[in-house]
Chains A and B, each alone.
Chain A
Amino acid sequence: MAAPMGATHRMEEPSTVHITVKLGINRVLPVTVPCNWNVGQLKELLHEQLDLDQPKSLPLSQIKILFAGRELSDEFIFKDSDFGQHTVVNAVYRPITQNIMSTVEEPHWLLTSSEDRYSSLVSSSTAAGQSDHGARKLFYVYCKEPSCRRIQPGKLRVRCRTCGEATLSISKEPNCWDDVLTPGRIAGICHREGCDGTVAEFYFKCSVHASVNERESMVVLPLIRPNTLNIPCLACTDTRDVVIVFPCDDGHVMCLDCFREYCFTMLNDKLFIHHPIYGFTLPCPVKCPESYIRETHHFRILGEEQYERYQRFATEGLLLSDGGVLCPSPGCGEGFLPDTYVKNITCLTCGFQFCRNCNEKYHIGACNQLDAETGSTGYGISGENAQRACWEAASRKLIRQTTKPCPKCSTPVERDGGCMHILCTRCQHEWCWLCHAPWIRNCQADHWFG
């Protein structure tokens, strides 16, 4: 079949570009200019428009257009730089002094691209015939906007740390993650009237949708990057466009679908670890040394529901390791840090009063004496309540028959075959099923199996 006419032509580009020009904090001037215009022409337009409502405005030569920490030169042409629709630039009147970076043809390290170019996470490869320039997404963020709620390509932006406006020109380009993530590493000069800010603050935006709030900033995920080297995923062996590169010496690579599956499996198997510095995290799946994920927002990939579970497990683990307790009442699980001598604990959330040692309803005297005496209150109770009590008594009886509580945290543990050596999945305590005490070498010698 013959190719349809015009099949090879390039996608028609818009002939105009919408730019939002910010003048000071509260003045915004949206303009639409032809794509082949340069910054000098934009300045003339601004000058004319400003003259209408501000007859005594400053001379044309003193208007500066700032974008992403740089002053744009008069020769800068919007079309050539893939300047995106609805990009925000700042116009300032203060003369820019000598000690900052000279103006450049284009800020190549921070090009923005059309806000509407992305349809999905994996569509970052450039369309045929389109220039690669400006389309290489190196940064990924977790976008928390309700319309996104996923990992998206991000845009790096810079603002004045003092006033928070993008009216800052920077003294040095960032060239590593530390420059961007560690506050105060890059200096600059703020050109907003009345602001004497000298420090740059970097932040990230979601590049999929226009900013809902100009001050919004998204958490950047430094391990996620475009797969420019075409490395296959170590789990599914597919070569995908966007991958996570683990922080190990080999830089093992996984696609994002497999990374989500890896996190989910490890969460279910309770194999996340509490790292003293990085928090509740995972290492590279190849188990390389020192390969823990430092920025735990990467686990946002789990999705809202599972991420909540991740956070709950992290908090519970931390609380238990600090000597805290969790309310044993079904569906509650509220955590407390009571003083060590307190044995009688009342949950502040559900009101359940329980014994710290055995997690049963609070009792006087030794633990494990409390049997199925539920209901013997001495006064009449409704039939419905009685039925429920029977059910719960039966279920308690079943749990008591088939499980033993962990000697450390009292979590009921079922032994389904295997040896006598038990590892509690909740508190990591290693104990002996037969002795109901910590696992020691003698347990292995005397009754390892049985």
Chain B
Amino acid sequence: MDADKKRLQKELMTLQLNPPVGIKVNGDHGSSLTTWYVEMEGATGTLYEGEKFQLLFKFTNRYPFDSPEVVFTGTNIPVHPHVYSNGHICLSILTEDWSPALSVESVCLSIVSMLSSCKEKKRPPDNTFYVKTCSKNPKKTRWWYHDDKV
């Protein structure tokens, strides 16, 4: 088995056997090893408590050296200053700060934490414009990480 598949298989096993609170890999979506759907619940005590979201992960055969493509998908896209209404997420570990030492679990936990620290639910200021002009793949966007507080 190729290195990427082996690693993904291991990550999948760990996540299924021992999932972090509020995170669950969805197996019924016709997921393959290279496309994962992850169910995510807004953490208690935050603006997103009680909300359910779905993340779509896509992996290339260069994973974990190549970062996964991660977007919110489904009917409920969180309203957040770093999440565009098309599901694209502005989070540096998904592009230039990616490292092969990161994993699906660490990406999910970073996203939960990003949501949890939000003080006001709103879309990014350039949302309308970005959603109209961007590429389908968020990895093709050269993000400008101007604010690491939210």
Identify the A interface with B (CB < 8 A): 234-238, 252, 254, 257-258, 261-262, 264-265, 285-287, 416-419, 421-423, 444, 448-450
Contacts and interface: CB of A to CB of B under 8 A. Distances in A.
A285 B10 contact: no
B3 A257 contact: yes
Contacts of A258: 3, 65, 100
Contacts of A419: 141-144
A297 B112 CA distance: 41
A52 B3 CA distance: 63
A449 B133 contact: yes
A388 B34 CA distance: 44
Query: Interface residues of A: mostly helix, strand, loop or mixed?
Result: loop
Nearest to A420: B142
B101 A238 contact: no
Interface string B93-112: 00001011100000000000
A418 B140 contact: yes
Contacts of A264: 65
B150 interface: no
24 contacts: A234-B101, A235-B7, A235-B64, A236-B7, A237-B7, A254-B100, A258-B3, A258-B100, A261-B3, A261-B62, A261-B65, A262-B65, A262-B100, A286-B99, A416-B135, A416-B140, A417-B133, A418-B134, A444-B144, A448-B144, A449-B126, A449-B129, A450-B129, A450-B133
B59 interface: no
A264 B62 CA distance: 10
Interface string B5-38: 0110010000000000000000000000000000
Task: Name the interface size band of chain B.
Answer: 20 to 34
Contacts of A418: 134-135, 140-142
Contacts, number: 67
Contacts of B101: 234-235, 252, 285-286
Given A254-B100, A285-B101, 10 more contacts: A235-B3, A238-B6, A261-B3, A416-B140, A417-B134, A417-B140, A418-B142, A419-B143, A449-B126, A450-B133
A285 B140 contact: no
Nearest to A444: B144
Binding site secondary structure of chain B: loop
Contacts of B146: 444
A421 B142 contact: yes
B66 interface: yes
A253 to B, nearest CB: 10
A422 B142 CA distance: 8
A287 B129 contact: no
A422 B141 CA distance: 11
Nearest to B132: A449
B66 to A, nearest CB: 7
Which 7 pairs from chain A and chain B are nearest by CB?
A417-B135, A265-B65, A235-B100, A418-B142, A418-B141, A286-B101, A234-B101
A254 B101 CA distance: 10
A258 B100 CA distance: 9
B130 interface: yes
* B6, B99, B135, B141 interface centre (most CB from chain A within 10 Å): B99
A275 B7 CA distance: 32
Nearest to B126: A449
Nearest to A416: B140
B33 to A, nearest CB: 14
A121 B18 CA distance: 35
Given A287-B99, A449-B126, A265 B66 contact: yes
Nearest to B133: A449
B84 to A, nearest CB: 11
B61 to A, nearest CB: 10
Nearest to B3: A236
Nearest to B144: A421
A147 B62 CA distance: 30
